[in-house]
Amino acid sequence: MNGADSEVGRLETVLLHRPGAELKRLTPRNSDKLLFDGIPWVGRAQEEHDAFAQALRDHGVEVLYMAELLDDALEYDDARQEIIEAVLRERQLGDRLAGQVRAHLEDLHPENLTQRLIAGLAREELKTGRGLVYGLMDRHDFVIDPLPNLLFTRDSSVWIGDRVAVTSLAMPARTRESLLTRLIYTYHPLFVGTEHLYEPWLEHVEGGDVLLMAPGVIAVGTGERTTPAGVERLCRRVFAAGLAHTVLAVPIAQQRATMHLDTICTMVDQDTVVMYPPVAGSLQAYTVTAEEDGELRIREPRPFLEAAAQAMGVERVKVIDTGLDPVTAEREQWDDGNNTLALAPRVAVAYERNVETNARLEAAGVKVIRIAGSELGSGRGGPRCMSCPVRRERLAALA
Ligand SMILES: NC(=[NH2+])NCCC[C@H](N)C(=O)O
């Protein structure tokens, strides 16, 4: 059955997005807004991504690609209409241009529509464009914005138990990603009958902030992306669905370096995290549980690792830190050293460049599968951000 109850149960199926033409849209003028720190060499980024996917397959993981699933979902008229309406609502194209964009999109084959929805549409590519808005736009302006961050599939959805939470992304440059993700989970035959735990129009929650610490225990970071109201909404939803007994709400600094909880902490074993030392000691968590009447019970904040150990029913959570030298640790944290993807307990995929962190993982008994990420990393995301586990072997079944 699809779903997951941990970050470390044997990974069976994963959802990836192979980067493509959307990355070719990045320029020094728009990269900030599109949330990239550099201008990737697209061909090399694709090679790196293919090697990542192959490493997963070599370990028995089934790899699903977003664009392929979207092609299938967009065979359904309802799916097409839904997403075209959403694109037209995105910005003020004005009536005339909106009508022309609608006609353009309605004419496209599913594969071409997928491409447009991901890679966007520049004014100069809309040959049928006419009217004032069209006339005033620069030829390189986007009529439909590209989605270079679709690469980070963990942010737009996260499976909790047997349900999928399609998240609500906080940055305007990413909002369409969760609509596309929702189309897949709603219309694709692979997912018929899947219940949705969360929807893109609710308070902001991003999957990179959600950590399934153990069956029944979920940590949720709140900072630049997931809002306090998002955490509260997610708590209500998971408790109502009986998917967790405890949620740990973890405030994180509202900075780019720590945009998601998974930039400072990921799990590599049932009771072991890899964590960035400067924050490891200072992170706090509010422990949230459900009262009988469904209301939330919130306990005073306490150190995250203590709160987690208690909720998980272990004596302590083991910590592998990302280097003792503070400068190395800071560099490797920025390069997603903490952002590992576990394929099973004590087996994790990591960027090869984080030499020190990987050595520490190995010294602690974790098998590290190294992948190249010099180009992929310019979007500030590592193996965990670039993957949405759709199916993991359940840990609860082992207990
Ligand atoms: N789960 C993560 N850490 N995702 C990283 C996302 C990076 C992306 N460029 C953004 O700013 O949104």
Please give the structure tokens belonging to residue 365.
């008994």
The verdict on the CB of residue 379 being under 6 Å from ligand 1 is yes
- What was the ipTM of the complex prediction? 0.97
Domain boundaries, the chain: 11-68+148-392, 91-144
Answer whether 262 contacts ligand 1 (Cβ < 6 A): yes
CATH topology of domain 11-68+148-392: L-arginine/glycine Amidinotransferase; Chain A (3.75.10)
- The one-letter code for the residue type at 25 is R
Ligand 1 site, residue 35, Cβ cutoff 6 A: yes
Task: Write the pLDDT tens digit of every residue in 196-248.
Answer: 999 999 999 999 999 999 999 999 999 989 999 999 999 999 999 999 999 99
Ligand 1 atom closest to the Cα of residue 256 is 11
Integer Cα distance of 390 and 352 in angstroms: 25
380 in contact with ligand 1, CB cutoff 6 A: yes
How does pLDDT run across 138-175, given as a tens digit for each residue? 999 999 999 999 999 999 999 999 999 999 999 999 99
Residue to mutate (ligand 1; options 23, 31, 152; most atoms within 8 A of CB): 152
Q: Are 20 and 119 in contact (CB under 8 A)?
A: yes
Model confidence pLDDT, tens digit, residues 95-110: 999 999 999 999 999 9
Higher pLDDT, residue 278 or 231: 231
Which pair of structure tokens corresponds to residue 43? 């061909």
pLDDT level of residue 75 (50, 70, 90 thresholds) = very high
Sheet hosting strand 157-160, strand order edge to edge: 157-160, 163-166, 196-198
In tens, the pLDDT along 300-326 reads: 999 999 999 999 999 999 999 887 688
Determine the Cα–Cα distance for residues 312 and 215; give it in Å rounded to an integer.
8
pLDDT band at 399, cuts 50/70/90? low
E-strand ranges in the chain read: 11-16, 62-65, 121-122, 142-144, 157-160, 163-166, 196-198, 210-214, 217-222, 246-251, 265-269, 272-275, 284-290, 296-298, 302-303, 318-321, 341-344, 347-351, 367-371, 388-392
Q: Quick check: pTM over 0.80? A: yes
Extended beta strands in 233-358, E state: 246-251, 265-269, 272-275, 284-290, 296-298, 302-303, 318-321, 341-344, 347-351
Residue 265 known to be catalytic: no
Q: Length of the chain in residues, anyone? A: 399
